[in-house]
Structure 1
């Protein structure tokens, strides 16, 4: 037996899955586009980078794993559970990854995650991608709150969050496991302006 909500959902069910996953434009001539099978080598290579490995303990081992992840990303979109995009140049070169996960349509809340390749670091790529995805999620789709967290030791990710308008709300103690043990995590959030 399902219980009826006393308030309508912040984001109506079906509003996202009715349409194909969009390509989003970002500053610096970047695009956020759905992952394509041909992106598998670049995706796999990213997880060989020491900085990406430091902050992401779930890693693909081979291109077949990557293709399985891509298939899961497609299912997430269809089931309205999340969206996963390649951060790319208009010529198609992959510079990073960004995701909007854990969609809660009732409360209008979702989480943001990202990484960028070494060649794209320090150039504003992550900030532009987070800003573009946030504008789409908040202004076009109607999410009310987007949140992201990162290890308190990841100063670069903290700078990206702040530059993209995500206020630091606090520290979640011992909230995530990394290769070197448990880390405290900063929690940031951006709220839709009413």
Structure 2
């Protein structure tokens, strides 16, 4: 497994190695009839179409250019799960139509920390898809797997993503100055985080 930093720990890891790879990537039910499921080869066209949307391109500088490349990404997603590096889901309507993407990346089992990322296809925006998917993924990661901190960052200019994060209980912790490159230059990034409920 390659998900943890190579270091000597004075405390046991928060999450045991093998916790994810021991089983198949789960399908997660979300509100509004949404279903988060692993990506399938047949989703390549919908995935590629999403990355041709101006809004998605505005916030994502890594983009596939062909369906063949998309399928290579899907292969890498499956490998991420097996190596416990990340988990990537298609956000769908009842398992069929692809409405968006959500992922858990940068898994650190030692400290119990991971990063969340998502996008929503144009036709599904402002319908609660992002919030529903984020709520479902958050509940699974915090309460079933045992992560102790989920981080989510976005450009300070991306007000829609900021609204989704806040609605799902991700507290705005600060601004990372000049932290990421976009097509129009470097952007400051908002850092949000969610931890297990206390009290």
TM-score tier, shorter chain, comes to over 0.9
1:152-190 C-alpha deviation (Å, 9 max, x unpaired):
000000000000110000000000000000000000000
User: Where does residue 37 of structure 2 map in the other structure?
Assistant: 33
CA distance in structure 2 between the aligned counterparts of 1:104 and 1:13, rounded to whole angstroms: 10
CA distance in structure 2 between the aligned counterparts of 1:91 and 1:140, rounded to whole angstroms: 21
- RMSD, aligned α-carbons: 0.9
Q: Secondary structure at the match of 1:72?
A: helix
User: Where does residue 69 of structure 1 map in the other structure?
Assistant: 73
User: What is the Cα deviation at residue 5 of structure 1?
Assistant: 1.1
User: Where does residue 177 of structure 1 map in the other structure?
Assistant: 181
Q: How many residues end up aligned between the 2 structures?
A: 193
Gaps of 5+ in 2: 1-5
User: Where does residue 143 of structure 1 map in the other structure?
Assistant: 147
Distance 1:3 1:112, change over 3 A: closer
Q: Contact 2:34–2:95 at 8 Å: present in 1 too?
A: no
1:60-98 C-alpha deviation (Å, 9 max, x unpaired):
010011000000000000000000000000150000000
Q: Secondary structure at the match of 1:192?
A: coil
TM (norm. structure 2) is 0.95
Q: Contact 2:92–2:98 at 8 Å: present in 1 too?
A: yes
CA distance in structure 1 between the aligned counterparts of 2:124 and 2:8, rounded to whole angstroms: 47
CA distance in structure 1 between the aligned counterparts of 2:190 and 2:174, rounded to whole angstroms: 6
Q: Secondary structure at the match of 2:47?
A: helix
How is 1:1-194 mapped onto 2 (pairs within 5 angstroms)?
3-90=7-94, 92-194=96-198
Q: Secondary structure at the match of 1:81?
A: coil
Q: Secondary structure at the match of 2:18?
A: coil
